[in-house]
Structure 1
Amino acid sequence: MPAIVGAIKINSIGNSSVMNVGDVFQIAPVSTAKTFAGAGSFNTGNGLRIFNNQSVTNSYDVDTIDSVNIGNA
């Protein structure tokens, strides 16, 4: 089924990013990363008003492997 896409706004695309508009069968990452950030860190948009009175980020992680991308080309 064809996709109907309205207006989109792209500010930037990173080096290892994937951008797709419309129909797609499969998108697979070739790299993974773990990022820790506090509340309101990745909010994007025009005219945002964010109020975070307290923000605590727990970065303690005992896992050795979180994301596996073996076999993605």
Structure 2
Amino acid sequence: MPAIIGPVQIIHVSGGVVQFGDTVIISPKTASKSTSGQGAINTGGFIVTNNGLSASNVLDTNLIDQPIVGNN
């Protein structure tokens, strides 16, 4: 069933897929993980970030987060 899409602002797409409308399957071809403090990876046309104290403590015990082998 078709969808009605309102105003959309796409500033940057790097190695990804932007899909509007009907689709059956969209599967990722890459997977990555990153950690950063609060307000560090905000994207948009106009960003205002007010932070007091920012810290990121990461303990990742997963060996494989999202397997992409055979994901065609």
TM range (shorter): 0.7 to 0.9
Give me the CA root mean square deviation: 1.5
Describe the shift of the 1:12–1:45 C-alpha distance in structure 2 as closer, same or farther (beyond 3 A).
closer
Instruction: Map 1:1-73 onto structure 2 (within 5 A).
Output: 1-14=1-14, 16-73=15-72
Deviation at 1:5, TM superposition (A): 0.8
Identity among equivalent pairs (%): 35
Q: Where in structure 1 are there 5+ consecutive unaligned residues?
A: none
Q: Partner letter of residue 26 of structure 1?
A: I
Structure 1 segments of 4 or more deviating over 3 A? none
TM-score (norm 2): 0.81
Q: Could you list the runs of 5+ residues in structure 2 that have no partner in the other structure? A: none
